[in-house]
Amino acid sequence: MQRHNLEHYNPPEDTGLALVYVDDCLLVLDKPSGLLSVPGRGEDKADCLISRVQKVYPDALTVHRLDMATSGLVVMGRGPEMQRALSIAFMDRKVKKRYLAVVDGIVDSNSGTIDLPLIIDWPNRPRQKVDFDAGKEAITHYRVISRDTVRNISRVELDPQTGRAHQLRMHMLHLESGHPILGDDIYAPPETLAKADRLLLHASRLVLRHPVTFEEMDFEAPAPF
């Protein structure tokens, strides 16, 4: 069973870009699970989404990132001006993001909001931890899509209102009695990890305003699980 571990980085084969949208200002791509968004430390971690994109679109620049194990929609700006405009939209929380996840156990409530501040757990980085004193605000709205009582799993939609590292993994881990995301090799216990061969977390929808025309743009990418 393959695990997406940086110590043994084995990115998926480059079969071409999964382009969702392209114009003179921006690109929207569907990143595969297991591929870094930007280069990691060392030559063995140079293969990543931005390096693959820049082979085709040399002016593409990173605006935001997805975790290596997470798949789904990523926006890039074409040139520094567009990168800056899009980055500001993300920082100002003007971009709506939606994720799909499959979590362990049956989530009792149909929907709700998780408000738990997060901070890096330095002795155990890259792990995060909940810290009500020093943590940064982290808010996620969730909605249950379906429940599978036979497999003891739930499919949920997640709308993060903030963009903290590992926010969705941590918030699911602390939801109700604990519902870690399947395939999470950082936080999930072994029995949950074994239920999937990848992290079952996918950035399925992005809504943003075009940096030049200011037209609202709504992008979707179905989850591959």
Task: Report whether 199 contacts 168 (CB < 8 A).
Answer: no
The helix/strand count (H/E) of the chain reads as 4, 12
Contacts of 27 by beta carbon, 8 Å cutoff, 6+ apart: 19, 21, 53, 57, 60, 75, 76, 78
- 3-class secondary-structure state, position 27: strand
Count the Cβ atoms, other than its own, within 10 Å of residue 145. 13
Q: Is 67 a catalytic residue?
A: yes
- Among residues 67, 121, 148, 184, the one annotated as catalytic is 67
Per-residue CA distances from 190 to 98, 139, 180 (Å): 27, 27, 11
Name the residues annotated as catalytic.
67
